[in-house]
Amino acid sequence: MDEGAEVIIINSLSHAWSGSGGVLDMHDMAAKGQKAANSWAAWREVTPEHNALVDAILQAPCHIICTMRTKTAWEAVESGNGKKAPQKIGLKPEQREGMEYEFTLVLDLALDGHIATAGKDRTSLSISWGSNPNY
């Protein structure tokens, strides 16, 4: 790059989604601005903005490291009495559904012990993340 940056760290990409002025805020404003306040149709205005952000990250001439906050993922499952009840199924990034598929490497960081586990790795590198206690 002309600016000399080899790596850019975005901390946290979740702010672009759920932070003040992020995609969810833009969606709410777009929905309120429509005559029928159609939440589904408002995504037509917001999606190109989000896609432009993703494209800028993917086409950058340097490495980009993004962090994302996570939140508890829930799913309605049968509780045995014919009713459904929410059940915790793990964590998911606070970002648009499927955003993690855009990246070459996705590391999930455990709170206990700060061990990173590769949830996705297309690097072909042989690395044992978290094996060094100095990290």
The residues, any chain, with a CB within 8 Å of residue 72's CB and separated by 6 or more, are 88, 90, 91
The residues, any chain, with a CB within 8 Å of residue 45's CB and separated by 6 or more, are 26, 27, 30
Task: Name the residue with tokens 């962090």.
Answer: 67
Digit-coded pLDDT (tens) for 76-114: 888 778 888 888 877 788 899 889 889 999 988 877 788
Task: Name the residue with tokens 């790795």.
Answer: 121
Of 33-42, 55-64, 75-84, the range with the highest mean pLDDT is 55-64
According to the model, what pLDDT value does residue 95 have? 92
Q: Domain locations in the chain? A: 7-103
- Single-letter residue type at 46: V
- Rg (Cα) of the chain, in Å, rounded? 19
The mean pLDDT of 24-30, rounded to a whole number, is 91
